Chains A and B, each alone.
Chain A
Amino acid sequence: MSAGALRLVALNGLLGYGYPAESLDRALALEPDLLGVDAGSTDPGPYYLGAGESFVSEEQAARDLEPGLCAAVARGIPLVVGTAGGSGAAPHLDRAVAMVRELAARHRLHCRLAVIPAEVPAETVLAALRAGRIVPCGHTRALTEEDVRACTRIVGQMSTEPLVRALEGGAQVVIAGRCCDAAIFAAEPIHRGFDPGLALHLGKIMECGALCARPAGANDVLVGTIGADSFTVEPANPARRCTPESVAAHSLYEQPDPHRFHEPEGTVDLSACAFEALGERAVRVRGSRLIAAAEPTVKLEGARCRGYRTITIAGVRDPGIIAHLGEIEAAVRAGVTGALPGDLPADELSLRFLRYGLDAVTEAPEGPPPVPPREVGLVIEAIAPTQELADRALALARATALHQHFDGRKTTAGNLAFPFSPSDLRGGPVYEFAVYHLLRGADPAALFPVAFEEV
């Protein structure tokens, strides 16, 4: 890339979603200065952070990483992976680093690797909580010490600062734990002295891959170029194009306010942004402005286990059952709690009936549906303090629902059509985001230490 500009390439919107090999080849022909990819999200829910597991296939993630790693090392340009392993906690980071070492060994690559952990010890969070330095983020409730202690894992979202430390230290490959999405692509431009408002806005767009293009594609490569007073974005795949509208509309995505977004560095104000078409497929953006934060903050995410789940899935075709589902549900509830006294107090069991076809996706309006559905899909769920108790409660609920009598019942041999044997499926531990709060006055150097190694 020429002096005065920096060219960045996003492999895709999420490591493990795949991308066309030709797209990366086209992007590499433009002589980029950095490759990056976001590898995580909280969208799939708290389970993956709590259980330390990945929500994408790790084999696919390795296949996505392989060409990027080889190209970055061959060209001597950095590769930055943010929120490694999906949630960016210690087990996720360990597996991602193992993946890099394995790929490097297979291709005989040698590089300087920086690893940045993002787990925050409960003691650190508790000390901050007692000092009044933890505040709710958005619509979360006030944090309690009990919530903090109950979390299996707490991570902090690192800003560009730890990534810049890694890049300053000569890292060619940066594997970061939980990381602000925009930081993955904003760190290098900020490190090189480009405007942080432009860099963060560009990062916010690039972390989704070619999602800002039309047709939109989180599974494709995006090229971003930042200059002194603007940046441009262009999809690598000639079948896609960016338009001023498609790029402007991207600031709506997953954000509560399209005119601004918040990062640890401050608030990025987009209200004065201008979007201009450059040729057929690229868009130039000007006017993104960072209003620096008064003090550094770090967003914390913690998952606590709320019990263990077992479910069953069954269909209902008989109109008499569909009309009496409420009554059957009440009888099953009473039957299950009656059969488990002592072993499982009623307030420790959560028994839920999701009635697909009636009101499972959104709360039903008042009154019965105007036209009853021909079929209803039923999911019965038990959550209890142990897996064994959840299995037992669900087995009782399933058997009771199958045979429950109601007024006018004609289908006297059984109420439910089970598609599977075994009918009962273990869901394992159930987590909740108990921590989703801001840590004020955080010291990023202490929270996110950078470790270098030669591979």
Chain B
Amino acid sequence: MRLYDLASAIRSKNAGPFTLTIDLALPDREAFARVLGAEGLAPARIAALYGVAADSVRVTPFERVLTIKVALPRPGASSGAPGDRDVYGCQQHFPLADVEV
């Protein structure tokens, strides 16, 4: 199943001009565990997907609200700098949202 279809909310946003965070909110504990254990959620896989250094991606589960947080350096330019595509970072949950879990 595609992560986008499984998640109840999936969003990206700047955490400062140089960092991107992606929140994956899951509908129940089973889905939460499934996504957390998925190969596609391994930091190295996410890093390859976004073209950033493998050791720069952090995946933090926040069980209380069944959400997984991914934090990574902004691929490409910092927010609003020449070459940037998404000043607020609001549409960068793709390509991660396409991952099969």
Which of A41-49, A99-107, A414-422 forms part of the interface with chain B? A41-49
Could you say which of A43, A139, A363 contacts B73, with CB atoms under 8 Å apart? A139
A361 to B92, CA, bound (A): 8
Pick from B13, B17, B56, B85: contact of A362, CB under 8 Å: B85
* Contact status of A436 and B17, CB under 8 A, knowing A362-B92, A362-B95: yes
- Asked, given contacts A46-B81, A139-B73, A249-B65, whether A254 binds B91 with beta carbons under 8 Å apart, the answer is no
Tell me the bound Cα distance from A255 to B14 in angstroms: 8
Known: A362-B91, A433-B17. A258 touches B60 (CB 8 A): yes
The complex places the Cα of A249 from the Cα of B67 at a distance, in Å, of 8
**Of B18, B67, B85, B92, which contacts A433 at CB under 8 A?**
B18
Contact B86 A361 (CB under 8 A): yes
Q: For B65, what are the chain A residues with a Cβ–Cβ distance below 8 Å? A: 245, 248-249, 252
Q: Does A307 contact B (CB under 8 A)?
A: yes
Q: How many residues of A contact B (CB 8 A)?
A: 39
Residues in A191-212 with C-beta less than 8 Å from chain B: none
CA–CA, A45 and B13, complex, Å = 13
When chains A and B are docked, how far (Å) is the Cα of A430 from the Cα of B62? 38
Could you give, for residues 43-63 of chain B, a 1 whenever the CB lies within 8 Å of some chain A CB and a 0 otherwise? 000000001000010101010
Q: In the complex, what's the smallest C-beta–C-beta distance from B68 to chain A, in angstroms? A: 10
Contact with B along A248-279 (1 / 0, CB 8 A): 11011111111100000000000000010000
Q: How far is the CB of A159 from chain B (nearest CB, A)?
A: 17
Q: How far apart sit A256 and B81, CA to CA, in the bound complex (Å)?
A: 21
Chain B 63-101, CB within 8 Å of chain A: the 1/0 string?
011010101011101111111111110011011000000
Query: Is there an interface contact between B91 and A361, defined as CB atoms closer than 8 Å?
Result: yes
A57 to chain B, nearest CB (A): 18
Residue of A nearest to B17 (CB): A433
Q: Which residues of A contact B87 (CB under 8 A)?
A: 43-45
Residues in A with CB closer than 8 Å to B18 are 137-140, 433, 436
In the complex, A64 Cα to B80 Cα: how many Å? 27
A256 touches B82 (CB 8 A): no
Contact A433 B81 (CB under 8 A): yes
Interchain CA distance A255-B65 in the complex, whole Å: 15
> What are the residues of chain A within 8 A of B37 when measuring CB–CB?
none
What residues on B are CB-neighbors of A45 within 8 Å?
A: 17, 79-81, 84, 87
Checking A44, A307, A365 against B95 with a beta-carbon cut-off of 8 angstroms, the contacting residue is: A365
Docked-complex contact B73 and A258, CB < 8 angstroms: no
Which chain A residues border B74 with CB–CB below 8 Å?
Answer: 139
Nearest-Cβ distance from residue A388 to partner chain B, whole angstroms? 18
User: A352–B17 Cα gap in the complex (Å)?
Assistant: 21
Q: Which of B23, B58, B80, B94 contacts A44 (CB 8 A)?
A: B80
A436 to B18, CA, bound (A): 9
Q: Does A185 contact B (CB under 8 A)?
A: no
B residues contacting A by CB (< 8 A) are 13-19, 21, 23, 25, 51, 56, 58, 60, 62, 64-65, 67, 69, 71, 73-75, 77-88, 91-92, 94-95
Told that A306-B81, A362-B91, A362-B94 touch, could you supply 16 new A-B pairs with CB distance under 8 A?
A: A42-B16, A42-B79, A45-B17, A45-B87, A137-B16, A139-B74, A248-B65, A256-B15, A256-B19, A257-B69, A275-B64, A361-B91, A430-B81, A432-B80, A432-B81, A433-B81
Pairs across A and B, CB under 8 Å, 8 listed: A248-B65, A252-B21, A252-B65, A259-B62, A306-B82, A361-B91, A365-B95, A432-B80
Residues in chain A within 8 A of chain B (CB atoms) = 42-47, 137-140, 245, 248-249, 251-259, 275, 306-307, 350, 352, 354, 360-363, 365, 383, 430-433, 436
